[in-house]
Structure 1
Amino acid sequence: MQNQFNTAQLRKTVLDMAWHGKTVHIGCAFSIIELLAVLHRNHLRFANNNPLAEGRDYLVLSKGHGVMAQYACMLERGWLSEKDVTGYFADGSNLKGLSDSRVPGLEVTSGSLGHGFSVGVGMAMGAKLNGSDQKVYAVVGDGEINEGPIWEGALFAAHHQLKNFMVIVDENGFQAMGTTDEVLALGSIAEKLSSFGFETVAIDGHDEQAIDMAVKALWASTSSQPKAIVAKTVKGKGVSFMEHNNMWHYTRLNEETYAQACAEVLDGVQ
């Protein structure tokens, strides 16, 4: 497993999908690469590596527009093929630009932001009622925290002591139309989640060791509180001209930018 989910290779897969599909949302996929890599490598449980295995852990990609990062991990697991990558958005492709629950490996249909979080809370409640040891991870963007369903779900999770639920916030500071501070200032996300009854830690979202330690520590806690990781990230992480550049939320690659981006990320492929 040591070389599986290599983050440079995952970014290369995202670039290949975006290039072949002539599509967008590269920057917001890059900011969650390390988070998903660590979850897939060390924490998510799938019996026999089956994405539909009964009793599996759930990964809810509430920020469904970052789905290419999940597709890259699904390719590593063998759930997707190279043909899926090169045929992204081509006629007959089952893969969409947003998370779609009809694709094994994607637990919810998300893209209408703020809703995936509450779906994940419902999954956690169901697992608790069933006496299951399943864990539910919900990855949300800091921009979608503007949405009311996030906080309704947070209150519900805390009230019902859903200690099997973990939200991971991709705090990259941007949303589609600007910075989060410009659109709707969030203040301290960690403090907000703590005040809503979550056991919360804040980390560097690109430090794989820190991510792993935070996940382990929260699950090891004896607290009955739901869990939260606020991960400080860089939108467009890994490609110099994409980092902190919100134009890459909706910009498509051309031959020059594709070649330059691939050259940068391939430096990290072993």
Structure 2
Amino acid sequence: MEAKKAAGLSLLGAQMRRSALEMVYRATSGHLGGSMSLCEILAVLYFDKMRVDPTNPGDPDRDRFVLSKGHCTPALYSALAMRGFFPMETLSTFRDIDGHLSGHAEMHHVPGVDMSTGSLGQGISAAVGMALAGQVDKKAYRVYAALGDGELEEGQVWEAAMAAGNYHLDNLCVFVDNNNIQIDGTLEEIMSPNPIDEKFAAFGWNVERCDGHNVSKIAAALERAEAAKGKPTVIIAKTVKGKGVSFMENDKEWHGNDPNTEQYEKAAAELDALVAAVEKEAERYE
């Protein structure tokens, strides 16, 4: 990926992270940690890879994305708004009783959301169904999904993985957001799904790995996924929960907590500095 494009995508990821913080602080509720680990992945998908049209979100030939870790909507809604599916001002209604931006992904009232999710394990099953439908109908669209690594403890994930391998769904690409922390602690402390790569490979998947905060490496992994024929692909993306805010990084307490005013101001200052630094880098290529 050329440096100019990489800088632009990195900036989008940083802005997404700042937006997610604003949404959760305003709502006094939401899931920041896993949203912040997902931002660069969403930036590459929505602004570089996926074929989507914000003016026609129901296009039957569009690429699909399923947020299987459905609680991380601060990142997803930010990405959709930035991509033009709805006005940025709508983000201020996150988790508001009078709005439609619920805490978990909602497809019926939020343009661009391809599947309502929240119960962990179900999103990947829906993505497998979409990919299988595309294969049967001989459609060219691709299906993408994002799983949490803690979500891999759900048995339904592996039923879906077995089906995808059995039907050779090479139009399916799943990210595992491998930040190693779930609501109650690290994967090792709760119920480790490791070795993740060997498990997916055993179900007939092509396995890729990347730095989940490096947009060039994410894009390269997606290119390899598209070139892999006859197998679905899983991209194990190494990430940091709470990425970008010093006191949130790698801390399970920020799985679902909202910041108080002092914490918000500190986090906002750090993220504003990050956005400014990435903007300066992007301006070098103007």
Instruction: Give TM-score scaled by structure 2 length.
Output: 0.90
Pairwise CA distance, 1:65:
0.7
Question: Where do residues 41-52 of structure 1 align in structure 2 (5 Å cutoff)?
Answer: 41-47=47-53, 49-52=55-58
Mapped to 1, the partners of 2:55 and 2:206 lie a distance apart of 30
Mapped to 2, the partners of 1:78 and 1:135 lie a distance apart of 21
Aligned residue type for 1:52: G
> What is the SS of the residue equivalent to 2:62?
coil
* Cα deviations by residue, 1:77-119 (Å, 9 ceiling, x for unpaired): 1223233122222231100011112122111111100010011
Indicate the residue corresponding to 2:122 in structure 1.
Answer: 115
Mapped to 2, the partners of 1:91 and 1:24 lie a distance apart of 14
Query: Which of 264, 269, 282 is matched with 1:263 structurally?
Result: 269
Indicate the residue corresponding to 1:139 in structure 2.
Answer: 146
Pairwise CA distance, 1:10:
0.7
Pairwise CA distance, 1:197:
0.5
Indicate the residue corresponding to 2:26 in structure 1.
Answer: 20
Pairwise CA distance, 1:50:
2.8
Query: Which of 65, 68, 79 is matched with 2:71 structurally?
Result: 65
> What is the SS of the residue equivalent to 1:144?
helix
Aligned residue type for 2:97: D
Mapped to 1, the partners of 2:140 and 2:83 lie a distance apart of 23
* Cα deviations by residue, 1:200-250 (Å, 9 ceiling, x for unpaired): 0111111111000000112023x2011110011110001100000110112
Query: Which of 158, 169, 179 is matched with 2:186 structurally?
Result: 179
Indicate the residue corresponding to 1:189 in structure 2.
Answer: 196
Question: Where do residues 38-117 of structure 1 align in structure 2 (5 Å cutoff)?
Answer: 38-47=44-53, 49-102=55-108, 103-117=110-124
* Cα deviations by residue, 1:55-89 (Å, 9 ceiling, x for unpaired): 10000000001111111111111223233122222
Mapped to 1, the partners of 2:88 and 2:133 lie a distance apart of 35
**Contact 2:210–2:217 under 8 Å retained in 1:** yes
Mapped to 2, the partners of 1:136 and 1:20 lie a distance apart of 32
Indicate the residue corresponding to 1:8 in structure 2.
Answer: 14
Mapped to 2, the partners of 1:235 and 1:138 lie a distance apart of 18
* 1:207 and 2:233 matched: no
Pairwise CA distance, 1:47:
3.7
Indicate the residue corresponding to 1:37 in structure 2.
Answer: 43
Query: Which of 240, 243, 249 is matched with 2:255 structurally?
Result: 249
Q: Which runs of 5+ in 2 are unaligned?
A: 280-286
Aligned residue type for 1:203: C
Query: Which of 166, 169, 173 is matched with 2:173 structurally?
Result: 166
> What is the SS of the residue equivalent to 1:166?
strand
Pairwise CA distance, 1:174:
1.1
Of stretches 203-212 and 178-187 in structure 1, the one that deviates more from structure 2 is 178-187
Of stretches 177-186 and 33-42 in structure 1, the one that deviates more from structure 2 is 177-186
Question: What is the aligned-residue identity percentage?
Answer: 38
Mapped to 2, the partners of 1:267 and 1:7 lie a distance apart of 14
> What is the SS of the residue equivalent to 1:6?
helix
Aligned residues: 269
**Contact 2:93–2:101 under 8 Å retained in 1:** no
**Contact 1:141–1:171 under 8 Å retained in 2:** yes
Please list every run of at least 4 consecutive aligned residues from structure 1 whose deviation after the TM superposition is greater than 4 angstroms. Answer: none
> What is the SS of the residue equivalent to 1:65?
coil
Q: Which runs of 5+ in 1 are unaligned?
A: none
Mapped to 1, the partners of 2:97 and 2:125 lie a distance apart of 33
> What is the SS of the residue equivalent to 2:225?
helix
Mapped to 2, the partners of 1:33 and 1:83 lie a distance apart of 19
Pairwise CA distance, 1:186:
1.6
Indicate the residue corresponding to 2:284 in structure 1.
Answer: none
Mapped to 2, the partners of 1:85 and 1:104 lie a distance apart of 13
Mapped to 2, the partners of 1:163 and 1:90 lie a distance apart of 39
